[in-house]
Structure formats: C-alpha cells, structure tokens
Chains A and B, each alone.
Chain A
Amino acid sequence: MKFIASKKLSDNSVMRSIIIGMLLSLIFAMMLSMTAKGIDYGVSPMQWNAAVLGNEAEFIDPMSFNDLLLGIHADLFGLIITFVLIASVYARMGRSRVIAISFLTLSLLSLLVYPIGMLFSPLLGSTGVSLSLSAFILFHSLMIVGGLDALIGLLRKKF
C-alpha cells in the first residue's frame, strides 16, 4: 500500500487526508463494535456469561456452538483488517521502540485471546468468557487509543 511505502505523510496532503479519514472511520467502527457487542452480549462479565453459557435461573439457553463459531468468524475478520490498518500507520509514527512493540504485541495477543477464550468457553466455562471479554475490551481500547494517537500525530504533521 502506498502509505506504507511513502516516506513522509505530511508532505503528501492527499495521502494525509485519506489516512485521517480512514483513522476516523476505524475509530468510529471500533466504538460501534463495542456498542453492538454490549447490546448483543451485555456489558458485564455476568451478562456475557449468561449470553454465551446460558443461565438456568433466568431461562437463558446457552449459545449454540455453530452460532459461537459464526460470531467469532465474522468478528475476527473485521478486527484483523482494523488491526493491520491501524498498526501499519502506528508503526511508522516514530514512537519509541518500547511503545511501538508493546502496542503491537498487546494488540495481537488480545486479538488472539478473544476468539480462543470464546472457542474454549464450553470447556473453560466462565473463565474463558471473562478472558475473552477482557481481551475484547483491551483490543478495542488499544485500537481507539492507537488510532487517536496516530490521528493527532497526522493533524499536527508529526510524520
């Protein structure tokens, strides 16, 4: 992609505007993704547990394994693309090595733990769901913070 190959984004006003637009959209998409998940699954670990594993006291059936797989498959695709786009802009921002590596590693790990926790929730029970929920929130927060950081850097013509 051109923005990976071009040297300084602040010199290229067209690419700069495109990436500002892309970052704004992705940050908005991450917020919407969290909102949608909040509506579907709930906002607390208890609600997530009930949505995935079911709750006999409240007559909530557990989610079928096919629905679980379908949900993860659909989620993961959008999240991988978002990660690739935000990480590729963030990596060239000129942040210190420790910050850049921590950002990439934490984002990737949380993106891996989210589906794995969900997939193993029939075996691990509420631990798997809680792990998944934590990873989901961590990944989205990192993408929003990283995206905003890159956006501010671009607006200030820092890179």
Chain B
Amino acid sequence: MNSKILQFIALAFSSLVILQAFLGVVLFGRLVGFSVHDVSVYYGDKSLHGLLEVTLPHTLFISIALMAVLHFLAFIQTIDLKTTKKATCFVFTLFFLDQFSPLLISFGLEFFAILKLFAFIGFQIALLWIWMLLFKQTLTGLK
C-alpha cells in the first residue's frame, strides 16, 4: 500500500481511539467529577446493580481490547520483552483498580475513591501512551 495512505489510515484510526478515550474522560467528568469527594458520593450512592451495569460491559470489552492493543507492543523493535511485560502488568493493574474500586467504595471503603481517581487517569494516560507509541511505529515501520 502507498505509505501516505497507510499513514492516513493510521492517523484516522488513532484519532478514532483518542476520540473514544476523550469521550470516556468527558463522560466521567460530567457524570462523576474529578474530585475525591465527587467520586466517593457518586459511587457511594449507587446500587450494586447500577454499578454492575457499568462494570460488566467495561470489564468484558476492555479486556479484549487490551489484549488486541498490547499484543502489538511485541512487534515494536525498540521495546524489549521485559518492558512489554512490565507495561502489560501495569496497564492491567490500573484497569482492575479502575473497574473494581467503585464496588469497594459502594461497600463503604471510601479510601478507594482516591485510588479510583488515580487509576482512571493513569489508565487513560497509559493507553494513550501505548497508542501513540504504536502510531509512531506505524509511521516509522513495524518489524
């Protein structure tokens, strides 16, 4: 394929994924809020059913998406296997904390509100970093 078109396709796809992450952040800001108090109040008031309605699809789909995204890291020459493993563990840890902190907050463990906030922001930044890395590699050539 012509490299310019390939670059355009990579750019369009990256924009799409960034748009999706951006929508997630905006939604979080509008529905929950970015302060520890907001997070604590929002999840503290939610029923278990309400929490599962959000956690279940996220856990199911994001785990598949993470598998698809992270396996591309193995194709990047400049990153060794150890770093890929560490990055994978780090991203999955943030993902689990992000998804399961709300359940613990609703059980009265308000401390997890701080963790939820950090995990959410950290997860978004980590994913963005991985996508940017993959995008950069697509432009410079995969192994």
Closest residue to B15 on the A side, CB-wise? A112
Closest residue to A85 on the B side, CB-wise? B68
Does the CB pair A108–B17 fall under 8 Å?
no
Does the CB pair A105–B8 fall under 8 Å?
yes
Within 8 A of A (CB), among B20-37: 20, 23-24, 26-27, 30-31
Does the CB pair B17–A80 fall under 8 Å?
yes
Closest residue to B12 on the A side, CB-wise? A108
Count of A interface residues, CB-CB < 8 Å: 25
- Which residue of A76, A104, A105 is within 8 Å of B20 (Cβ)? A76
- Which residue of A69, A97, A108 is within 8 Å of B16 (Cβ)? A108
A1 within 8 A of B: yes
A154 within 8 A of B: no
Does the CB pair A66–B2 fall under 8 Å?
no
Question: Which B residues are CB-close (under 8 A) to A104?
Answer: 9
- 29 CB contacts below 8 A, A to B, read A1-B68, A66-B30, A69-B30, A72-B23, A73-B23, A73-B24, A73-B27, A76-B23, A80-B16, A80-B20, A81-B61, A84-B68, A97-B1, A100-B1, A101-B1, A101-B2, A101-B5, A105-B8, A105-B12, A108-B9, A108-B12, A108-B13, A108-B16, A111-B16, A112-B12, A112-B15, A112-B19, A115-B19, A115-B23
